[in-house]
Amino acid sequence: MIRFSLVCDRQHDFEAWFRNGSDYDGQKERGLVECPHCGSVKVEKALMAPAVSTSRKQEKIALAMGEQQKQAMAQLKALSQKMRDNAEYVGDKFADEARKIHFGEADQRGIYGEATAEEAAALVEDGVEFMPIPVFPDDQN
């Protein structure tokens, strides 16, 4: 999509979006481009200043994005730690224990541990609800 600044024969300025330059040309030739202010179809492209992104602006955007990523990562780490603090670690027995809890063969409680992709797929097939916990480089478990 491309946006053109346009002006009609009565000097009304307006903007319009087109798929490309030739789309504008085709619509203009057929009289489909008209001024929204007065309805004139005598429309021409006006001079437009290009949208230029300065390196300072790009640097500010990058810094802001980096800060947002840091904040999101910190929140994710805190959530991960809270889940670990309030659940029992069952190690590589996670799939078996989750299935027992689901089917009422073990007490209802929060657990976490490890499972292979195949074990996770089997839990999904059995209707067992679970959620992966992200692992960060500085995590103990």
- CA distances to 71, 78, 136 from 87, rounded to whole Å, are 24, 14, 18
Residue with the larger pLDDT of the pair 47 and 9: 9
pLDDT at res. 11: 93
Mean pLDDT of the 117-128 span: 94
Which uninterrupted H or E stretch holds 5? strand 2-8
For the segment 41-82, what is each residue's pLDDT rounded down to a tens digit?
A: 999 998 766 666 677 777 777 787 788 888 888 898 898 889
pLDDT at res. 107: 95
| Residue 35 CB neighbour total at 10 angstroms | 20
Per-domain boundaries in the chain: 2-45, 55-81, 87-129
pLDDT at res. 52: 67
Q: How many helices and strands (H and E) does the chain possess?
A: 4, 5
The answer on pLDDT for 141 being more than 50 is no
Is 0.75 topped by the overall pTM? no
DSSP state of 134: P
Residue with the larger pLDDT of the pair 68 and 8: 8
The answer on pLDDT for 140 being more than 70 is no
Phi-psi region of 103 (alpha: psi -120 to 50; beta: other; left: phi over 0): alpha
For the segment 72-118, what is each residue's pLDDT rounded down to a tens digit?
A: 888 988 988 898 899 999 999 999 999 999 999 999 999 999 999 99
